[in-house]
Structure 1
């Protein structure tokens, strides 16, 4: 566990969403306040830890699929959070070393770690944009330094939009979809209303915007076409892509949903 003072005042005496999530994942970049809050949440919902880990494995499976089977070489990751291996660029560049990945977050805690850890293979590129995800115009402007938006880009927003109230996710995604060319992809994961008690506990400390049901999450994809198996819980989204991870996943069913969708027309 990391207990040495960070290089900036990152308020380690208060729980922080990115560090608490790192605690759920079994990482090392969290502090006593994060562990205490995380343990309180896990006493309410022990399934949150396997859900977080299943969500991370979904990231790896979906990114590898897009790179390997759909030829995607450009990735834009919104709301990156603390780096936890395997990171998106590690997965994508493991398939195609020339892949280019842009990470977006506006959290100083994430920024400190990202600049140190999110390093590219020499054949590809990684970049980090310090921005609020709702400022999508600024993000796209800066991302063009690394990504070519005249070619397909895979955008991911994992465990992000439940921290944003309506109508922010729909508005930023509508703008983003206009900029993406056919053949681009959108990957989303989101918690479900069954976690309302957890959301209430977060509200008093760190804030959790809006829990959405499966129809509302599906609507966020807009005119993009969901890949099989459509919207599913993270454990059951294409588990055959990594047989070592397969299992029942019954303990996290109906707690979270995820999907990958493609912009038609290419």
Structure 2
């Protein structure tokens, strides 16, 4: 069995970052953790999650469908030969994490995780348990400053920006109400061609518009702005890249695993998903 590797230097955090958990205020990452059945959440998060569940009872199923999409997309790209991943908006670690999926296919896979949530920083060690042949790193960075994310990822020395890289933006961009398209274009431009990939899932009003309106208001009242995007807006994020089969689909419908018995409807998931490659 491969041994785990954890190097302190693989956590790239500026010395002036203050780890302030602010547990008295709900946080989207901890709410998501609660929906996934995790334990890294607090009363304020559970209260906000309760309001969300009252409006959108399928929220835990939607979270599971989103996580399963990330696993399937990572597996598909790994099987296609991608060996490098940049995962932005990592969230609180939930096994299997992206590097576990990728390194199960090729132990040499390399992953850089990025997030701006201090509580994710406190759990970064779980993201750094790589196989000896591969490597992982964590950077404290905000997707709203994509140039800084890219610079921090380069500084780790983990990724070779002359070789294909898969960019993962899973369940992230609906928390970026303005400028998401420009951010994605900046990130895409930094990825080498051909063969780099883009993985995105995104909250949408297309399947259950009334539920989407309610969940947006609940997050806003909890202090987090959420923007659901239509299929047309979602498609724009992949401009000039080639969508792989089956194109844009709901998270449970993107290459579903035939062995999974849980059936989640598109309305319950309310999330679009797609993978594209740079030509």
Q: CA deviation at 1:261?
A: 0.5
Q: CA deviation at 1:13?
A: 2.2
Contact 2:141 2:152 in 1 (8 A): no
Q: CA deviation at 1:104?
A: 0.6
Q: Report how many aligned residue pairs link the two structures.
A: 254
Contact 1:237 1:259 in 2 (8 A): yes
State the partner residue of 1:245: 260
Q: CA deviation at 1:208?
A: 2.3
2:72 aligned residue (61, 64, 68): 61
2:198 aligned residue (161, 164, 186): 186
State the partner residue of 1:4: none
Q: Any unmatched runs of 5+ in structure 2?
A: 1-17
Q: CA deviation at 1:112?
A: 0.5
Instruction: Provide the rounded CA distance (Å) in 2 between the counterparts of 1:98 and 1:131.
Output: 25
Contact 2:103 2:109 in 1 (8 A): yes
1:113 aligned residue (109, 117, 123): 123
Alpha-carbon RMSD: 1.7
Post-superposition CA distance 1:108-149 (Å, at most 9, x none): 011101134432111101011111112222222222221111
2:162 aligned residue (138, 150, 153): 150
Post-superposition CA distance 1:58-97 (Å, at most 9, x none): 00011011001x1000000011110011100000001110
State the partner residue of 2:102: 92
Larger RCO of the pair (alpha carbons < 8 Å, separation 6+): 2
**What secondary structure sits across from 1:259 in the alignment?**
strand
Q: Any unmatched runs of 5+ in structure 1?
A: 1-6
TM-score normalised per structure 2: 0.87
After the TM superposition, which residues 1-266 of structure 1 pair with which residues of structure 2 at under 5 Å, given as runs?
A: 9-68=20-79, 70-144=80-154, 145-166=157-178, 168-180=179-191, 181-193=193-205, 194=209, 195-239=212-256, 242-250=257-265, 252=267, 255-264=270-279
TM-score normalised per structure 1: 0.91
Q: Which aligned segments of 4 or more residues in structure 1 are displaced greater than 6 angstroms?
A: none
